[in-house]
Amino acid sequence: MTLIGVLISGRGTNLQALIDAQNRQELRGKIVVVISNKSKALGIERARKAGIPVEIITKKMYPVRSDFDKQLVKILKQARVDLIVLAGFMRILTQYFINEFHSKIINVHPSLLPAFKGVRSQWQAIEHGVKVSGCSTHFVTDNMDDGPIILQKAMPVLPDDTGQTLAERLLPEEHRLLVKSVNLFCEGKLSIEGKRVIIKE
């Protein structure tokens, strides 16, 4: 059984999608710990409701980045996780952290990477006037929102879309893509060759 640690910073709807899949017995792994770097993140309550252990590690508690990441690693290792999912985790991880869990960290991002990295990607897409946007899952490397892409879902941008309406339409697609990607990982169907992810079907 693949043990999963989920890192969050906010409302946690992607975490909820994983919890819902787990409750429907459709998740091929098990969420064993949720870590939030924000003490008021809505996702904390979602994890608690599901009976999943939650840890809160804030910048205030560990002002030095390397100490913060060491604590993260400690908790994730204690929980014996095989996979880490960044579900709206809005903090850059150190090289040390990435090395500790090399090829075992999946992120979900609301754009067709490598376009519109960083924050408010849906708003960036509107500003740039793109006609097609979407969402991506990828393995995490030391560059933000970079790394081998696992799955993508494209979606047309409508003439009167705003960042907000695009974000709302993308969100359920993100949820599906994330659950699917996590399941592919848990089933051992993902391998990385350079920048490419090969999916064994």
Task: Choose which of 5, 88, 134, 148 interacts with ligand GAR (CB under 6 A).
Answer: 88
Is 149 among the residues that bind ligand GAR (CB under 6 A)? no
| Cβ 161 to ligand GAR shortest distance, Å | 15
Q: Residue 139 belongs to what H/E stretch?
A: strand 132-139
**Residue 102 among the catalytic residues:** no
Is 11 among the residues that bind ligand GAR (CB under 6 A)? yes
Is 145 among the residues that bind ligand GAR (CB under 6 A)? yes
How far is the first Cα of the chain from the last one, in angstroms, to the nearest whole number? 20
Q: How many residues bind ligand GAR (CB under 6 A)?
A: 15
Is 125 among the residues that bind ligand GAR (CB under 6 A)? no
How many CB atoms lie under 10 A from the CB of residue 156?
13
| Cβ 173 to ligand GAR shortest distance, Å | 10
Is 109 among the residues that bind ligand GAR (CB under 6 A)? yes
Spell out a b/e string for 93-108, using b for 16 or more CB atoms within 10 Å of the CB, else e.
Answer: bbeebbebbebbbbbb
| Cβ 160 to ligand GAR shortest distance, Å | 21
Task: Choose which of 174, 179, 185, 186 interacts with ligand GAR (CB under 6 A).
Answer: 174
Task: Choose which of 5, 12, 29, 148 interacts with ligand GAR (CB under 6 A).
Answer: 12
Give the full edge-to-edge strand order of the sheet including 149-156.
Answer: 54-56, 29-36, 2-8, 83-86, 105-109, 132-139, 149-156, 196-199, 190-193
**Residue 110 and residue 135 in contact, taking contact as beta carbons nearer than 8 Å:** yes
Whether a cis peptide bond, with omega within 30° of 0, leads into 110 is no
The residues near 73 (Cβ < 8 Å, ≥ 6 apart) are: 96, 97, 100, 101
| Cβ 117 to ligand GAR shortest distance, Å | 7
Rounded CA-CA distance 37/7 in Å is 8
Tell me the residue number closest to ligand GAR, measured at CB.
88
The residues carrying an active-site annotation are 109
Q: Which residues of this chain interact with ligand GAR, rule CB under 6 A?
A: 8, 10-14, 43, 87-88, 108-110, 121, 145, 174
